[in-house]
Amino acid sequence: MSVPVQQVCAALPEYAEIEKSSQAAEMPPAPGMAMGPCPGMVMAPGPGMVMAPGPGMVMAPGVTLAPATTISLQRVHSRDFLVWSIFNVIHMNIFCLGFIAVAFSVKARDRRFVGDQNGAKHYGNTAKHLNIAATVLTVLVYLILIILAFFGAFTAVYYG
């Protein structure tokens, strides 16, 4: 059971005011827009367009049109530092920090694949800090060994 459009429009209080004024019949719709079922209402032709009041359409008191809010979803790529961790295990594994960094890097990668971005970011930051500590400590140890070797701390002394 369908109700004719004119009866539905006649029930709207705005329709009576539009019918009294002849503005709706005189003004054509904006380019790219089509006339709606009620006089004075302009409808968007597709899903990407927004419904707007047409010429001569009376808005209810206190009603204003708000701009549409656009929400953009961005996938945050968290880093896991797995390559750096493996490098630290092979070359600079002082105090076993490289092994611990690999464990946190793998946890960060697992969290990222599951979709837990906060967990991946947390584990990735921990792996980064462990890698920094392992690299700095190893470089310091190598520098101390080079300085000691330069001053002859590792030479054999024969008395005889």
Quote the pLDDT of residue 24.
47
Mean pLDDT along residues 86-98: 89
pTM of the predicted protein model: 0.51
Long-range contacts (CB closer than 8 Å, 24 or more residues apart) made by 120-125? 120/78, 120/80, 121/76, 121/78, 123/80, 124/78, 124/79, 124/80, 124/81
Mean pLDDT along residues 77-99: 89
Quote the pLDDT of residue 86.
94
Quote the pLDDT of residue 126.
96
